[in-house]
Amino acid sequence: MTAAKEELAYVLINPYTVYKSRTGGVISRLFTRTALELVAARMFAPGRELVERYAEIAVSPKDPQDRKIQELIRQYILDNYSPDPKTGQRKRVMMLLFRGEDAVRKVRQVVGSFQADKAAAGETIRDTYGDYIVGADGQVKYFEPAVLAAPSPEEAETKLKLWAKYSDTDGGFLEKVVVYPKNAKVEQTLVLLKPDNFRFPSARPGNIVDMLSRTGLYIITIKVHHMSVGQAEEFYGPVRVFLREKLKEISGQRARLALEKEFGFGLDPQTEKALGDIMGPLFANQQFSQIVQFMTGRKPEDCSGPAKAQPGLEKIVAVVYEGTDAVAKIRGVLGPTDPRKAPPGTIRRELGKDIMVNAAHASDSAENAQREMKIINARENDLKPLVEEFYNCQL
């Protein structure tokens, strides 16, 4: 039996699905039911040209959905992906890109197809989040497909190349896309879904996004990232300084107890403090090294020179949220660094393990968010190079 060929498969999460914060539920379904690798993600605010070109190729003889449904999807794209005809305001669309054997079929199976003679029962994404309502006269009263995906590998290639071609002009860091009330205190904040969420296919990444949706904030960028050792050291640099000071006292106490047990006599407080001054920075460096290794998959002491700039072995997903008081709202849902101290209902209480393996990171200030976004290149286009490399083309 011939092994299935590795493919790229995309899912476009429609503007209404993104607006209604159903994104997390969609992600959970895709991760758990396809078991494919998420290799790229990008936000889009499509312009008229991209929308029209995508609508042109929406109807396909290889699509298992009947022609009537395909025509509905074509019109849906024109009506719902296009900028507002009155204001020119663009709409947010999220693209997720998966890679693996038989990826297109697996994704399409989870997405589902509308069938006039089958009632939605929640089996697929479209069953749960989409609507296809037909009146007594046989006319379609309401149509919302929730997400869009290609029906075949050939069409996935054609449509991915189209979206990748427009990924710089119509996608990326979506500033000035959301309209806010006058004088609103609008902030941007960064969330990193940590490597522990991607050890195996699970609903965890989607659950985190779903829990963060209760803030009412808007996702304006998303990116799959492999943090380098150099990036991790810079990103967590303030943590190293904090640890060196915080761990002096505990290091001194532990060193004193160990020495007293070993030598059989007591040590005075001045000696304990001196031990803390010596051991604290060493212990802090060891803890910092563990953080870097957890985020990158590499020990920092094993990397030097150009090796520090190499992409890490671990996957994280960076998401930028925007809205009123974004920093405080995100951190409130995330919970304290230590999951044991986090209130019920917070992400870290439900999904965290310890201070380091605690599901996600969130910026502690709007200023720090900008610093952190710059370090991980949040504005970088990771979609286009991947599509070009996979299909061996230049877009």
Percentage of the chain lying above the pLDDT 70 cut: 97
Q: What is the DSSP string of 167-185?
A: TTTSBSS-TT-S---TT--
Res. 120 pLDDT band, cuts 50 70 90: low
pLDDT of res. 1: 46
Q: What is the mean pLDDT of the chain?
A: 92
- Structure confidence at residue 242 (pLDDT): 79
In this predicted structure, what is the pLDDT of residue 127? 92
What residue spans define the domains of the chain?
Answer: 6-172+379-391, 174-226+315-378, 231-308
* Span 126-149, average pLDDT: 90
C-alpha span between 249 and 281 (Å, rounded) = 11
Residue 329 has pLDDT above 90, yes or no: yes
CATH homologous superfamily, domain 6-172+379-391? Nucleoside diphosphate kinase-like domain (3.30.70.141)
pLDDT of 247: 78
Q: Name the band, by pLDDT with cuts 50, 70 and 90, for residue 280.
A: confident
pLDDT of residue 225: 97
d(CA 167, CA 230) in angstroms, rounded, equals 27
Start-to-end Cα distance in the chain: 35
CATH fold for the domain made of 174-226+315-378: Alpha-Beta Plaits (3.30.70)
Residues 286-313: what's their mean pLDDT? 91
- Angstrom distance (rounded) from CA 185 to CA 394: 42
pLDDT, mean of residues 123-147: 90
User: Which of 361, 363, 383, 387 is an active site residue?
Assistant: 361
**Of residues 302 and 247, more confidently modeled:** 302
- Neighbouring CB atoms inside 10 A of 102's CB total 17
pLDDT the model gives residue 279 = 84
The confidence band for 348, taking pLDDT boundaries of 50, 70 and 90, is: very high
User: Can you give the pLDDT at residue 117?
Assistant: 59
pLDDT of 293 above 50: yes
Where is pLDDT greater, at 192 or 247? 192
Tens of pLDDT, residues 37-72: 999 999 999 999 999 999 999 988 878 778 888 999
Q: Rounded to an integer, what is the distance from CA 28 to the centroid of its chain?
A: 12
* Nearest one of 166, 110, 150, 206 to 9, comparing CA atoms: 150
Give the integer Cα–Cα distance in Å for 144 and 28: 20
Q: Is 225 among the residues known to form the active site?
A: no
Q: Are 337 and 355 in contact (CB under 8 A)?
A: yes
Q: Do domains 6-172+379-391 and 174-226+315-378 have the same CATH topology?
A: yes
Which carries the bigger pLDDT value, residue 176 or residue 384?
384
